Amino acid sequence: MAKTRHQQIRHNTTLAIFIAIILLQDFIPFFGNIPLGPLSITTLHVTVIVAAIVLGPFDGAIIGGAWGLLTWIRAFIAPSSPLAPLVFVNPLVSVFPRIMIGVLAGYTFIVLYRLFKSKYGAAVVAAIVGTITNTGLVLSFIYLFYRTPAVAQTYGVNVNHLLIALETIMATNGLAELILAIIVVPMVAIPVLEVRRRLEVN
């Protein structure tokens, strides 16, 4: 069914708000990346997953792509870490995984909600799928394309131990980001879905 002009304006406004949140998270310290002891926990994936649930997989991919594009550009002009100019200059590492967060999290929510009629359960699983997609793809592509001494050195290991270092990150940062997403995504996405439903009714 075609959207009315007001629905389209509302949709575009919501999309713009999510992109603005991504920009703020990326540039404001402690908002998009939270230092936690030796770890640095990103929160940007949570915004992408929420967007995918609220707006759907296509728009979730757009939000994820905005984050990825920002990561890619910053790798050239304002790297966020010593690793960034080494690996995030490759769009397969910086952009593609973030797009896939929106696609897979969005479709996961749609399919599970249709099957089980539980927004909370569908949101939790979408949060899990989206987080694992991001962490898994980024680390896998780093190992696939950048098994080099320079990259290994940024992790404090030699090339032979790079895989172990990446697996450790998956089990530490990845787990912390997964727990964050499981807690926050349903808390944010479900009320926003309800507000959107009421607006569409009215």
pLDDT digits (tens, 9 = 90+) for 28-48: 877 888 766 545 689 999 999
User: In this predicted structure, what is the pLDDT of residue 6?
Assistant: 80
For residue 30, give the 3-state DSSP assignment: coil
How many distinct structural domains can be found in the chain?
1
Q: Compute the average pLDDT of residues 53-74.
A: 96
Q: Compute the average pLDDT of residues 63-82.
A: 92
Q: Rounded distance, CA 193 to CA 71, Å? A: 28
User: In this predicted structure, what is the pLDDT of residue 82?
Assistant: 86
Q: What is the pTM of this model?
A: 0.94
Whichever domain contains 114, its CATH number is 1.10.1760.20
E-strand stretches of the chain: 33-36, 39-42
Q: Which domain holds residue 50?
A: 5-201
Tokens at residue 159, please?
Answer: 């090339």
